Amino acid sequence: MADTVNTTLDPQLNRRGFLKGITMAAAALGMSDAVIPKMVEAAASGERPRVIWLHFQECTGCTESLLRSSHPDLARLILDIISLDYHETVMAAAGHQAEHNLHDTVQNHPFILVVEGAIPTKENGIHCMIAGKTAMEILAEVAPKASAIIAIGTCATYGGVQAAAPNPTGAVGVQELVDKPVVNISGCPPNPVSFLGTILHYLTFNRLPELDKLGRPKFAYGRRIHDHCERRAHFDEGRFVEQFGDEFHKLGYCLYKVGCKGPETFSNCPAVRFNDVDVWPVSVGHGCIGCTEPNFWDTMTPFYERLPQVKIPGTGIVADADSIGKKVIGVTAAAVGVHAAVGIGKGLIKGKGGSDEA
Ligand code: SF4
Ligand code: SF4
């Protein structure tokens, strides 16, 4: 296996970086260490799947996040285990050569389709045109021939900011327009490890990972942020930041009252974190804005106002953080101070309208 790894891969991607990336992806997938050799073998087999990466209505932030992360081995690993035949941002080809590459892959080879960006549907899709064709037309040409389809980022999965009310261009996610299963790797941007894990799962097991009811891989979106947040104990005990910069903010209390949407958001951010420096928004003092959820620009705004209600499982109580605080004060203020609490809501907090199975 060592020889295969060392001779197949980009020389800039050393064996240590390669194994680190695979191990990160395996951990994100919830795989045991026993599976890592199989994943390594699949990734280093030299049979790199061809990938067509289409850009539609978006800011290219997902590509930037994926390829220019502070973890260069991760970007190299992704580029090394796939053959990126067409990607408008990073490919060297332009004009007719680029179009030739696209059509050659679509017509003559199996490929994975990755879509970044929403697809506008109003006025026959004229709000996004590339090489004289609308995004709708390009998707209709390419998607039916893809062996797998991955929508990356919240724009491609659910329409993103383009689809925010009043959605002037009629923007939708990929799954609204194709008849095949679509893997939705949502987020603004999504964590590169979730994309890498999906690709490695496909390479290793020859099938896509299990998806939730919104088309997201369960390995990455199967848990509510709130349920594995390091500030959760503060929430349960009624200790909240009242405004950014106050003494409770400095103490690392829960960010629910300043707008954290973690109780209604499903993602692996607290576990996988970002940029190889072991941080995520909540760990550095900013609430989650719910970017992995459909229509979050409409449903999670204003970003700095609290969610109107939370459910406390096992109690039937529906309460906002203020009423939790009042109950808390009545019981335990003398012992632990105005922002401390007995363990009301010790169980898992569930957001409105969600389901446990995500
Ligand atoms: S509300 Fe936000 S900061 Fe507070 S525990 Fe939940 S996810 Fe963490
Ligand atoms: S913490 Fe929330 S807003 Fe930030 S990336 Fe994760 S899901 Fe998106």
307 lines ligand 1 (CB under 6 A): no
CA distance 255 to 230: 11
pLDDT at 319: 53
Cα 290 to Cα 18, 108, 259, 262, 351, distances in angstroms? 31, 40, 10, 7, 12
CA distance 90 to 84: 9
Q: Closest-lying ligand to the alpha carbon of 287?
A: 1
Q: Ligand 1 centre and the CA of 314: distance in Å?
A: 19
Pocket test for ligand 1, best of 255, 286, 291, 346 (most atoms within 8 A of CB): 255
Overall residue count recorded for the chain in this entry: 358
Pocket test for ligand 2, best of 69, 227, 256, 280 (most atoms within 8 A of CB): 280
Let me know: does 264 contact 354? Beta carbons within 8 Å: yes
Atom of ligand 1 nearest to the CA of 282: 3
Q: Closest-lying ligand to the alpha carbon of 292?
A: 2
Q: Ligand 2 centre and the CA of 128: distance in Å?
A: 27
Determine which residue's CA is closest to atom 4 belonging to ligand 2.
288
Say which DSSP state 102 is in: H
pLDDT at 13: 57
**Dihedral over Cα of 289, 291, 294, 296: its sign:** positive
Q: Which two tokens stand for residue 249?
A: 């903010």
pLDDT at 20: 77
User: Over the stretch 302-321, which tens digit does the pLDDT of each residue have?
Assistant: 999 988 876 543 444 455 54
Amino acid identity of residue 192, one-letter, is P
pLDDT at 310: 64
CA distance 175 to 299: 20
CA distance 294 to 13: 36
DSSP calls for 288-336: ---TTSTTHHHHS-STTS--S-EEETTTTEEE-HHHHHHHHHHHHHHHH
Find the residues whose C-beta lies inside 6 A of ligand 2. Answer: 187, 225, 265, 267, 269, 280-281, 288-292
Helices (H) and strands (E) in the chain, counts: 15, 11
pLDDT per residue, tens digit, the chain (358 aa), is: 434 444 444 555 567 777 777 888 888 888 878 888 888 888 887 778 899 999 999 999 999 888 766 555 667 778 788 888 999 888 888 889 999 999 999 999 999 999 999 999 999 999 999 989 999 999 999 999 999 999 999 999 999 999 999 999 999 999 999 999 999 999 999 998 899 899 999 989 999 999 999 999 999 999 999 999 999 999 988 899 999 999 999 999 999 999 999 999 999 999 988 877 789 999 999 999 999 999 999 999 999 998 887 654 344 445 554 454 343 333 222 222 212 221 222 222 222 233 333 3
Q: Ligand 1 centre and the CA of 231: distance in Å?
A: 6
Q: Ligand 2 centre and the CA of 15: distance in Å?
A: 31
